[in-house]
């Protein structure tokens, strides 16, 4: 698509050309206007001429005396003389009066009228124009380059050949793709829908956590439908001037109508689609005006033309109800975190552009990345490729994938970190305490890796567990076992050293969160039963919860949370006390090797439970095969 180049030169170029022309005219054609000449003489000559009566008039200032002679030269020009004033001569006024010289003559300036006009009028205008242009350009650059494009939509337009995305590039979101395929089919063959009386949905809202591929899905819809694709962020509608957002909405829909059938994608629509409230009454709220214009445009355009509005947000709870009603965004399509099969498919999609070894187990990697979004999985594949390059290899191996998972979960290894032997011993017992308690609990996930190598996340070590199968529901017993596992590190410190450290800070936070959730949200309390005691806000972002109960009830909740954690702690302490010899033996091995795998851990703890084909692996190359649960001491 060839764009027409703007042949107009900047206005400042024309100003410069005009100035040069005027200066040439002044030098060549208008010198006759300068009808005066000025001659400088000595002060003594001035006094002589004054005594001889050759001076007609005088003008005196602080430093100079200018005078007009009674007789002019024969060159046709009026001649004026100037001389430096002698400050010691205080009788100059008397001399002038005695000679009958007047004081009314004013020496005219030698400057040309043209030059005087240019300096007085043209030059200031040029300076103001240049200064204004500089300030506007600077302001425009600071505000994204759009502050002066009044009413013009800056949506990026992709034609069919530029989107480059299809549904084959989207993995792990089969339900969302199925919902969007109907829109694609309508854009391909709208007549069969018109024949039965069906109308194309005006809009579809994609909701889900960050990184799940909402923008990618919108581009894939445009690529499959082979129609133009308008992409704009919600924040780009709201600019410096009031009313400009509404003008940009009008311009966007005007462009979309001209290129129909097409798809308009508004990313982060919550920037302009927030709920309206009484706070804007009597004011001039720019966002509210923009939202009102968007609602009007979505009602006004004809869906039969094939203009589909797609929007994405991870804060659907704050959107205005008028925006979500049928006739505007007819469909709400959830784009959730991928499940096990979805994660494996996503990994394979991103691995297509990376040279990998043929024996990579994507199922194992997917199991180890429970809760990861598509963007995080893409980052894992990229980190694995970088690790292979650092190691001097030309293809990605399984151990690169495992190391990349550890980087995403716990950060990079702090190889130069100086940890005292006493602290390393404490961390060893702490992590073995987690692992040993988990191994003895019926509902805990199997241990896959234990390490005491410090990480950039602040963890001095961590224990990684992975479930053998993906769990969608958790029983009360499973949650209690999870809390007990979190208590294992602190219990090991207290049992072996008789003291406790700050290394259990993250464990305490996670255990408290689970115990409180059991009571306030999951109805797993004997005291409160199935009573909702808190509400969750921002489920796709922070997941913050707010208590909806009295202060007395909140105090009772705190008491019950404390009881649950205390019971789990005592249970963890009992398990470690019963297996104290194994705790010493495993902590010594971990201190020596710094990293051991789950199989090596079980070989010491319960050798009879290992498969007959077990072969010990190198702990330094063992990968992070765990998933959701990592227990680490915080520095």
Domain residue limits, the chain = 35-109, 156-334, 340-410, 421-634
Query: How high is the pLDDT of residue 295?
Result: 87
Angle of the 598-605 helix axis to the 580-593 helix axis, nearest 10: 140
State the pLDDT confidence band at 444, using cuts at 50, 70 and 90: confident
Query: How high is the pLDDT of residue 607?
Result: 78
Return d(Cα 416, Cα 514) in angstroms, integer. 35
Question: CB of 336 within 8 A of CB of 217?
Answer: no
CATH number for the region 421-634 comes to: 1.20.58.760
Q: Whose CA is closest to 632, among 468, 380, 307, 414?
A: 414
Question: CB of 225 within 8 A of CB of 346?
Answer: no
Mean pLDDT of 134-145: 62
Return d(Cα 525, Cα 522) in angstroms, integer. 8
For 24, 77, 113, the CA distances from 34, given in Å and listed in that order, are 15, 9, 9
Question: CB of 361 within 8 A of CB of 199?
Answer: no
Query: How high is the pLDDT of residue 40?
Result: 78
Share of the chain above pLDDT 90, in %: 21
Mean pLDDT of 398-426: 85
Query: How high is the pLDDT of residue 558?
Result: 94
Greater pLDDT, 383 or 193: 383
Greater pLDDT, 75 or 208: 208
Greater pLDDT, 611 or 15: 15
Mean pLDDT of 500-511: 92
Domains 35-109 and 340-410 are alike in CATH topology? no
Question: CB of 316 within 8 A of CB of 268?
Answer: no
State the pLDDT confidence band at 27, using cuts at 50, 70 and 90: low
> Which residue matches tokens 């957002």?
245
pLDDT at 427 over 90: yes
Question: CB of 512 within 8 A of CB of 496?
Answer: no
pLDDT at 481 over 80: yes
For 150, 270, 289, 504, the CA distances from 293, given in Å and listed in that order, are 16, 15, 6, 53
336-181-340 Cα angle (round to 5): 30
The tokens of 310 are what?
């797609």
Q: Please name the residues in contact with 154: beta carbons below 8 A apart, sequence gap of 6 or more.
A: 146, 232, 236, 248
State the pLDDT confidence band at 535, using cuts at 50, 70 and 90: confident
pLDDT at 621 over 50: no
Element (H, E) at 312: strand 307-313
Query: How high is the pLDDT of residue 440?
Result: 92
Of 383, 402, 431, 534, the active-site residue reads 431
How many CB atoms lie under 10 A from the CB of residue 300? Answer: 9
Greater pLDDT, 6 or 36: 36
Return d(Cα 297, Cα 278) in angstroms, integer. 23
Return d(Cα 543, Cα 518) in angstroms, integer. 16
For 151, 231, 251, 268, the CA distances from 254, given in Å and listed in that order, are 12, 14, 5, 21
Residue 431 annotated to the active site? yes
Greater pLDDT, 238 or 177: 177
What confidence tens digit (pLDDT) does each residue in 389-402 have?
998 999 999 989 98
Query: How high is the pLDDT of residue 477?
Result: 93
Element (H, E) at 332: strand 331-334
Greater pLDDT, 371 or 278: 371
State the pLDDT confidence band at 279, using cuts at 50, 70 and 90: low
Return d(Cα 246, Cα 287) in angstroms, integer. 9
What is the pTM for the complete model shown?
Answer: 0.69
Query: How high is the pLDDT of residue 272?
Result: 86
Share of the chain above pLDDT 70, in %: 78
The tokens of 217 are what?
């899905």
pLDDT at 105 over 60: no
**Span of 92-101, 321-330, 484-493 with lowest mean pLDDT:** 92-101
Return d(Cα 529, Cα 53) in angstroms, integer. 123
Mean pLDDT of 587-606: 90
Query: How high is the pLDDT of residue 487?
Result: 96
pLDDT at 522 over 50: yes
For 27, 34, 71, 386, 471, the CA distances from 39, given in Å and listed in that order, are 21, 15, 14, 83, 104
In this structure, whether the domain defined by 35-109 belongs to CATH 3.30.720.210 is answered with yes
Write b or e for each residue in 488-527: b if 16 or more Cβ atoms lie within 10 A of its Cβ, otherwise e.
Answer: bbbbbbbbbeeeebebbebbbebbbebbbbbbbeeebbee
The single-letter DSSP state of residue 25 is H
State the pLDDT confidence band at 139, using cuts at 50, 70 and 90: low
Greater pLDDT, 339 or 106: 339
Greater pLDDT, 383 or 140: 383
pLDDT at 156 over 70: no
CATH number for the region 156-334 comes to: 3.40.50.300
Three-class secondary structure of residue 274 per DSSP: strand
For 66, 89, 213, 628, the CA distances from 63, given in Å and listed in that order, are 10, 12, 81, 90
Mean pLDDT of 8-34: 62
**Span of 6-10, 238-242, 361-365, 454-458 with lowest mean pLDDT:** 6-10
For 84, 456, 620, the CA distances from 45, given in Å and listed in that order, are 11, 91, 105
Class of domain 340-410: mainly alpha
């Amino acid at each position: 698509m060839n764009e027409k180049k703007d042949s107009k030169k900047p206005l400042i170029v024309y100003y410069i050309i005009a100035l040069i022309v005027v200066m040439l005219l002044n030098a060549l054609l208008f010198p006759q206007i300068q009808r005066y000449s000025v001659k400088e003489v000595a002060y003594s000559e001035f006094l002589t001429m004054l005594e001889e009566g050759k001076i007609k008039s005088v003008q005196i200032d602080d430093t100079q005396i200018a005078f007009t002679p009674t007789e002019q030269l024969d060159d046709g020009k009026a001649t004026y003389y100037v001389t430096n004033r002698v400050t010691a001569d205080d009788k100059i006024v008397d001399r002038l009066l005695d000679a009958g010289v007047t004081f009314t003559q004013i020496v005219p300036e030698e400057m040309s009228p043209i030059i005087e006009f240019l300096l007085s009028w043209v030059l200031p205008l040029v300076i103001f124009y240049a200064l204004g242009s500089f300030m506007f350009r600077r302001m425009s650059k600071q505000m994204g380059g759009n502050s002066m494009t009044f009413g013009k939509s800056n949506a990026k337009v992709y034609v069919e050949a530029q989107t480059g995305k299809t549904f084959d590039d989207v993995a792990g979101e089969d339900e969302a793709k199925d919902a969007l395929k109907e829109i694609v089919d309508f854009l391909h063959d709208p007549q069969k829908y018109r024949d039965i009386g069906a109308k194309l949905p005006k809009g579809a809202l994609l909701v889900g956590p960050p990184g799940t591929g909402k923008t990618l899905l919108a581009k894939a819809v445009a690529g499959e439908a082979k129609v133009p694709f308008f992409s704009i962020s919600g924040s780009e509608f709201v600019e410096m001037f009031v009313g400009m957002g509404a003008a940009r909405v009008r311009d966007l829909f005007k462009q979309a109508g001209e290129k129909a059938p097409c798809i308009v994608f508004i990313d982060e629509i919550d920037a302009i689609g927030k709920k309206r409230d009484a706070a804007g009454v009597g004011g001039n709220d720019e966002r509210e005006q923009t939202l009102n214009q968007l609602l009007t445009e979505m009602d006004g355009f004809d869906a039969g033309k094939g203009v589909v509005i797609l929007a994405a947000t991870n804060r659907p709870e704050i959107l205005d109800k008028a925006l979500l009603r049928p006739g505007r965004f007819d469909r709400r399509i959830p784009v959730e975190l991928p499940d096990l099969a979805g994660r494996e498919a996503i990994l394979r999609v991103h691995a297509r552009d990376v040279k990998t070894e043929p024996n990579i187990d994507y199922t194992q990697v997917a199991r180890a990345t429970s809760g990861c979004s598509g963007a995080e999985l893409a980052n894992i594949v990229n980190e694995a490729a970088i690790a292979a390059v650092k190691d001097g290899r030309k293809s990605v191996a399984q151990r690169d994938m495992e190391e990349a998972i550890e980087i995403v979960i716990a950060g990079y290894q702090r190889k130069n970190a100086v940890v005292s032997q006493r602290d390393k011993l404490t961390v060893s017992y702490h992590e073995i305490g987690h692992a040993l308690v988990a191994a003895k609990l019926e509902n805990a996930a199997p241990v896959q890796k234990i390490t005491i190598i410090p990480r950039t996340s602040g963890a001095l070590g961590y224990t990684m567990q992975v479930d053998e199968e993906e769990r969608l529901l958790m029983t009360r017993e499973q949650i209690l076992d999870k809390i007990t596992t979190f208590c294992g590190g602190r219990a090991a410190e207290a049992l072996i050293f008789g003291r406790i450290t700050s290394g259990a800070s993250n464990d305490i936070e996670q255990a408290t969160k689970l115990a409180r959730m059991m009571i306030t949200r999951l109805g797993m309390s004997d005291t409160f039963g199935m009573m909702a005691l808190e509400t969750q806000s921002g489920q796709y972002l922070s997941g913050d919860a707010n208590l909806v109960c009295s202060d007395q009830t909140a105090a009772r909740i705190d008491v019950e949370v404390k009881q649950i954690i205390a019971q789990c702690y005592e249970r963890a302490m009992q398990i470690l006390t019963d297996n104290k010899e194994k705790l010493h033996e495993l902590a010594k091995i971990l201190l020596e090797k710094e990293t051991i795998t789950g199989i090596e851990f079980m070989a010491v703890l319960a050798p009879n439970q290992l498969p007959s084909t077990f072969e010990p692996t190198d702990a330094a190359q063992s990968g992070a095969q765990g998933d959701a649960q990592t227990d680490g001491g915080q520095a």
